[in-house]
C-alpha cells in the first residue's frame, strides 16, 4: 500500500517501457569509496526503511511485506516483470475466452510448499475463496476478487476463473502480492510464519533488526537460484543508511530518495540506479476532522503546497508532481498536477471563504520514512504561509499503523505504492474517511461497464473527480534510488510493484 503543469498524458501498459525508459535511464557510478570490495558471498544483505508488521501481504498494509516475501516466499499464478508486463509463475499458461470473462489456467506441475505439501488447484481454490469470503480482509477484494463469480478446478492442474465482467487488468492483479497462494493448512499463521512455494523459506525474524530468508533446497528450479541466503535489515535514518553502505554492512539499499544519495555516488564499490515506481506521495487528510471535511479547506491546502520545491528539496529532484491518486506509470494516467498550482494567495482566499478561524492549528503525523521526516518541515512551512500551523508529530511505524492508519490523525505524509488502488476512496471506513456517494457511483459504473471506450472515459473521470474534490493533497510520484554493491546483477531499476526477486539476483 504504502511506503507541473503540462498537457495530459495517457499511458497504457504497452507504453510502460517507454515511459520508464525516459524517466529512469540513469545509472550513476562513482570513482572513489571507503569500503573494501568483497568477493561474491552467498548471503545478500538488503536494507529497507520499514520493518513489516506482518508477513501476510494479502491483508496487512505495509509495502515492506511484499518487499520481503513476494516472489521469495510466496508466489501467485502470474508475476509482474520490471517492465510492468505479466508472465507465468505458478500458472504455466492460460487462455482467455473471446468475451474476456473466463480465464483457464494450467498450473505448473511438481510444485510443493516448503513443508512438502503439494501445490495444486485445491490450493488456488482455497486462497481465492478465502479472499472472496464476506469477512475477507484481502486488500484486493474490491479490485479483483469481487469480480470473480466462480473458481472451478476441473482437475488438479487446471483452474477456471469466471468473471462477472471482463477486466483487462485481471492478469496484472493476479500478479500482485494480494493474490499470492497461501498454504491451506497454515494460512492463519501467514502473518508470523508464511509457508509458500517460493525459492526461499523464512529462517528467522529478529524483531526490530532483520528478517532472514534461506534457500529452499527443494524448490522446483533450485539449481538456478544463486543466492543462498538473504537478510533484510531495517534502517530508516538516512545518515545511518549511508554509514551502513560506507562500512560495507549492506549490499543493497532500497528506496533511497533523499539528498544523502549524492554522498554515495562517488563510492567506487557501489552504484546508484534511478528508476520509476507506482508510488503516490501525498499529504493525507482526515475527512472526519473539521475543517478538513470542507472541500474549500482541502483545496486551499493543495494550493498552499509548492510541489516542485518539495520534490527538489526533499527528493533531490527525483520525482514528478501529481494531482490525483495515480502515478505516471499507471495505465490510463492523466496529468492533473495543474489543477492546484502553487498559489498561496488563492489558498488564503479559499480559507477566508470557508470561514475557518486562523491560525488553524493541526497536527502532522510523520512516519519514520526519510521523505516524511524531511518533508514534514517543508509542508509545515508552506502551510504556515497561509495561516495553517502544524505541530509535527514523529512516530515509529507500529505507532503509525495503530494511530494514523486507524483514523487517529489530522494530516499525515505518506506514499501509497500499490498500482491502481483508487478503490480505497470508495471505502468510507478507510483511514482518511473519504465518503463520497458520487465517487462510489463512478467506481461502480467503471467496474460494471463492458465497453472499452466507456471504461476509458470513466477512468479519466475517476481521476478528475478525486482531484476536483481534493480528496487528499497529492504531491509527488517518486523515483526510486537503489544503491547496490558493484558485482550484484538482477536488481530491478524500475518498480511497478514493490518486490525484490532475490532468486533472479547473482554475484559476478
Where do the domains of the chain lie, and which CATH numbers do they carry? 278-479 (3.10.105.10)
In angstroms, how far is the first alpha carbon of the chain from the final one? 34
Distance CA 260, CA 141 (A): 39
| Beta strands in 315-436, from DSSP E residues, in sequence order | 319-321, 360-366, 388-394, 411-416
pLDDT for the residue 328: 92
Kindly give, in sequence order, each residue whose CB lies less than 8 Å from that of residue 133, ignoring residues fewer than 6 positions away: none
pLDDT for the residue 261: 72
Kindly give, in sequence order, each residue whose CB lies less than 8 Å from that of residue 39, ignoring residues fewer than 6 positions away: none
**SS3 call for 30:** coil
- Tell me how many degrees the CA angle 345-376-356 measures, rounded to the nearest 5: 40
Distance CA 382, CA 378 (A): 6
pLDDT for the residue 471: 98
C-beta separation of 489 from 54 below 8 A? no
Distance CA 243, CA 249 (A): 8
Name the H helices within 366-428: 370-384, 397-402
Distance CA 24, CA 276 (A): 6
Name the H helices within 36-189: 63-69, 121-132, 170-174
Give, for 103, the enclosing helix (H) or strand (E).
strand 102-107
Distance CA 158, CA 111 (A): 14
Counting every residue written for the chain, the total comes to 508
pLDDT for the residue 501: 96
| Average pLDDT per 10 consecutive residues for the chain, totaling 508 residues | 45 39 38 40 84 93 93 98 95 95 97 97 97 93 93 97 91 96 95 97 95 96 94 89 88 74 78 90 97 98 98 91 94 93 98 97 95 96 98 96 96 93 94 97 88 89 98 95 92 92 93
User: What pairing do the DSSP bridges indicate for beta strands 280-285 and 158-163?
Assistant: unpaired
pLDDT for the residue 256: 61
Distance CA 102, CA 359 (A): 57
Distance CA 70, CA 124 (A): 16
C-beta separation of 252 from 46 below 8 A? yes
- What residues form DSSP beta bridges with 392? 364
Sign of CA dihedral 371, 374, 376, 382: negative
Burial class (CB in 10 A: 0-12, 13-18, 19+), 247: exposed
Asked whether the bond before 360 is cis by omega within 30 degrees of 0, the reply is no
The closest of 134, 114, 132 to 124, measured between CA atoms, is 132
Amino acid at each position: 500500500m504504502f511506503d507541473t503543469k503540462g498537457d495530459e498524458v495517457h499511458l497504457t501498459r504497452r507504453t510502460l517501457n517507454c515511459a520508464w525508459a525516459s524517466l529512469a535511464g540513469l545509472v550513476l557510478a562513482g570513482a572513489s569509496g571507503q569500503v573494501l570490495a568483497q568477493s561474491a558471498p552467498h548471503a545478500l544483505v538488503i536494507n529497507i526503511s520499514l520493518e513489516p508488521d506482518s508477513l501476510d501481504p494479502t491483508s496487512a498494509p505495509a509495502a515492506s511485506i511484499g518487499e520481503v516475501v513476494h516472489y521469495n516466499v510466496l508466489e501467485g499464478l502470474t508475476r509482474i516483470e520490471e517492465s510492468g508486463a505479466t508472465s507465468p509463475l505458478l500458472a504455466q499458461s492460460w487462455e482467455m475466452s473471446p468475451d474476456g470473462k473466463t480465464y483457464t489456467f494450467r498450473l505448473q506441475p511438481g510444485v510443493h510448499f516448503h513443508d512438502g505439501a503439494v501445490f495444486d488447484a485445491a490450493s488456488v481454490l482455497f486462497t481465492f475463496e478465502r479472499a472472496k469470503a464476506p469477512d475477507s480482509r484481502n486488500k484486493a477484494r474490491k479490485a479483483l476478487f469481487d469480480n470473480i463469480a466462480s473458481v472451478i478446478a476441473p482437475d488438479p492442474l487446471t483452474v477456471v476463473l469466471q468473471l462477472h465482467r471482463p477486466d483487462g487488468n485481471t492478469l496484472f492483479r493476479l500478479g500482485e502480492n494480494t493474490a499470492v497462494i497461501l498454504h491451506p493448512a497454515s494460512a492463519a499463521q501467514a502473518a508470523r510464519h508464511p509457508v509458500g512455494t517460493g525459492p526461499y523459506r523464512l529462517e528467522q525474524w529478529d524483531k526490530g533488526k532483520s528478517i532472514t530468508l534461506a534457500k529452499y533446497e527443494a524448490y522446483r528450479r533450485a539449481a538456478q537460484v544463486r543466492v543462498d541466503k538473504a537478510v533484510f535489515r531495517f534502517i530508516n535514518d538516512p545518515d545511518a543508511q549511508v554509514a551502513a553502505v560506507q562500512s560495507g554492512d549492506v549490499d543493497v539499499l532500497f528506496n533511497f530518495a533523499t539528498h544523502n544519495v549524492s554522498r554515495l555516488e562517488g563510492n567506487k564499490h557501489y552504484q546508484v540506479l534511478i528508476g520509476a515506481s507506482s508510488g503516490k506521495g501525498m499529504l493525507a487528510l482526515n475527512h472526519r476532522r473539521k475543517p478538513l471535511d470542507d472541500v474549500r479547506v482541502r483545496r486551499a491546502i493543495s494550493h498552499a503546497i509548492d510541489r516542485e520545491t518539495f520534490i527538489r528539496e526533499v527528493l533531490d529532484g527525483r520525482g514528478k508532481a501529481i494531482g490525483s491518486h495515480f502515478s505516471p506509470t499507471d495505465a490510463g494516467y492523466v496529468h492533473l498536477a495543474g489543477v492546484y498550482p502553487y498559489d498561496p494567495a488563492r489558498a488564503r482566499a479559499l480559507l477566508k471563504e470557508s470561514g475557518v478561524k486562523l491560525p488553524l492549528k493541526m497536527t502532522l503525523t510523520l512516519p519514520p520514512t526519510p521523505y516524511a521526516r524531511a518533508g514534514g518541515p517543508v509542508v509545515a512551512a508552506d502551510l504556515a504561509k497561509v495561516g495553517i500551523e502544524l505541530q509535527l508529530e514523529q512516530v515509529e511505524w507500529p505507532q503509525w499503523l495503530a494511530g494514523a492508519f486507524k483514523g487517529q490523525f489530522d494530516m499525515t505524509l505518506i506514499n501509497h505504492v500499490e498500482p491502481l488502488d483508487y478503490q480505497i476512496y470508495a471505502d468510507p471506513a478507510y483511514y482518511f474517511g473519504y465518503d463520497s456517494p458520487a465517487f462510489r457511483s463512478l467506481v461502480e459504473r467503471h467496474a460494471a461497464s463492458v465497453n472499452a471506450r466507456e471504461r476509458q472515459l470513466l477512468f479519466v473521470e475517476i481521476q478528475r473527480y478525486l482531484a476536483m474534490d481534493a480528496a487528499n493533497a497529492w504531491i509527488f510520484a517518486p523515483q526510486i534510488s537503489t544503491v547496490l554493491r558493484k558485482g550484484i546483477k538482477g536488481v530491478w531499476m524500475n518498480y511497478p510493484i514493490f518486490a525484490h526477486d532475490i532468486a533472479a539476483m547473482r554475484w559476478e
